[in-house]
Structure 1
Amino acid sequence: MDPQGKKPRTVRRKSAGSGDIPVGRGYLDGQLLIAMPVMDDPRFERSVIYLCAHSSEGAMGIIVNRPAGSIDFPGLLVQLDIIDKADQIKLPENAETMKVLKGGPVETGRGFVLHSSDFFIEDATLEIDDGICLTATVDILKAIAKGSGPKHAILALGYAGWAAGQLENEIQHNGWLHCDADPDLIFGGDVEEKYQRALRKIGVDPSMLSAEAGHA
């Protein structure tokens, strides 16, 4: 989905080395990344990222705790000519309340929908793990607007990407913690609280974390 009205290329599950979204077993795809205080990159500071793909070729994820400012989902549907402005009041509740997030600094003009696995488009939906899927075609927005989309979903503009070995290096240097995915952390409405909740989920007291944290 492109705010300029262009339909993005389809996202598909690909084996490592066969495309720009690598997926590899034994890596951290399907996990949550939690930024450590040492993370001084303002694009990722205090971020919680759902890792959609990770292999020897690199990694790709969606930030799930950074609102996209004044952009709201009904307004975006109008901008993309999916609905008429007058039809905003007729949208189902899931569409009215759907969160629009800043998914990361890469390709911020594209939309990526993280959603529950009760919705699937052949050759367009990437099944990740634990009932979580990713779809990046405008068809899922049309389905949500009609009330036939997934039960749980968030729309992210852009994504976070790492080159081969880059994420591993950042983790080694205490840039990130990681843990099992939690659907409530991904889809929950309390976006501003997700960072603190993610830390507590793995038993970390945020007040005890230091920007000078060393290697374990």
Structure 2
Amino acid sequence: MSFKPSSLRDHFLISMPHMHDAHFEHTVTYICDHSEYGAMGIVINRPLDLRLDALLKHLDTTDSLQVVDNRPVYGGGPVQGERGFVLHRAQDSPWLATYQVTDDVCLTTSIDILEDIASGNGTTDALIALGYAGWGAGQLEREISDNAWLSCPANLDILFKLPAEQRLHAAAATLGINLDLLTAQAGHA
């Protein structure tokens, strides 16, 4: 009988203090999908030096678009860094490419949601990212067993309401953990 790991979909992955991978050091990642084939998530606490208006200008959207919401764009992970992803609260949406992660959270990849957000017609609870984090079959499970990550159920207030610089420690606090008190040395019991 083989071990079937439970899905980490709709969970946060919290990097351990000893992680020295430039892509994931001091990050919290929202897991959008996790199965026996691998996992996919968006890093939610790495704002880029890029705002929505500059992204839309780069994408050559219509010049008539009046940008009233100029939120930051995040570095969602090292895979396909030129591709856009929007994590947002679930709602009846007319957007073209939307994947429902849970009853409460969706992931949209079409430009129409960016235009709606920028014009003030989109959802206010949304995180815009370029790129994503991806793991092959069994890779995330190995990294967790090697003490690279903590995981906890996602909290939508942390995801959508807290400033980026507070998200890592807030996610760890949901587990009762103060990351500042953990050692940067990895070990196994």
CA apart distance, 1:119: 4.6
Partner of 2:147: 174
TM-superposed CA distance for 1:130, in Å, is: 4.9
Stretches of structure 2 that go unaligned for 5 or more consecutive residues are: none
Q: For the structure 1 residues 121 and 166, does the alpha-carbon distance in structure 2 shift closer, same or farther, using more than 3 Å as the test?
A: farther
Alignment deviations for residues 17-39 of structure 1 (CA, whole Å, 9 cap, x no partner): xxxxxxxx941011000000121
Alignment partner for residue 194 of structure 1, among 158, 167, 189? 167
- Give the deviation of 1:40 after TM superposition: 1.5
Partner of 1:129: 102
Shift of 1:157: 0.4
| Matched position secondary structure for 1:68 | strand
User: Paired residue for 1:76?
Assistant: 55
* Equivalent residues in 2 for 1:154-165, closer than 5 Å: 154-165=127-138
Q: How many residues align?
A: 186
Identity across the alignment (%): 44
Q: What residue in structure 1 maps to residue 119 of structure 2?
A: 146
| 1:57, distance to aligned residue in structure 2 (A) | 0.3
TM-score, normalised with respect to structure 2: 0.89
Q: Hey, what's the Cα distance between the residues in 2 that align with 1:160 and 1:179?
A: 17
Question: Unpaired runs of 5+ in structure 1?
Answer: 1-24
Residue 99 of structure 1: how far off its partner (Å): 2.6
Tell me the distance in 2 between the aligned counterparts of 1:83 and 1:34.
38
Matched, 1:40 2:20: yes
Q: TM-score, normalised by structure 1?
A: 0.79
Deviation, 1:189, is: 4.7
Shift of 1:183: 1.1
Q: CA separation of 1:148/1:119 partners in 2, compared to 1, >3 Å: closer, same or farther?
A: farther
Measured in 2, the distance between the counterparts of 1:103 and 1:62 equals 5
Contact 1:100 1:157 in 2 (8 A): yes
Residue 59 (1) aligns with residue 59 (2): no
Displacement of 1:78: 2.0
Distance in 2 (CA, whole Å) between partners of 1:119 and 1:63 is 25
Instruction: For 1:130 and 1:99, locate their aligned partners in 2 and report how far apart those are by CA, in whole Å.
Output: 25
CA contact (8 A) 1:119 1:149 kept: no
Distance in 2, Cα, partners of 1:67 & 1:123: 25
Letter in 2 for 1:61: G
Query: Which residue of the partner structure matches residue 27 of structure 1?
Result: 7
Q: Contact 1:99/1:189 (CA < 8 Å) preserved in 2?
A: no
Aligned-partner residue type, residue 174 of structure 1:
N
Q: Deviations over 1:53-108 (max 9, x none)?
A: 10000010000000112x11112122222242x85xx433xx22x23100000000
- Tell me the SS of whatever aligns to 1:112: strand
Measured after TM superposition, the shift of residue 121 of structure 1 is 4.1
Paired letter, 2:31: L
What is the Cα deviation at residue 123 of structure 1? 6.2
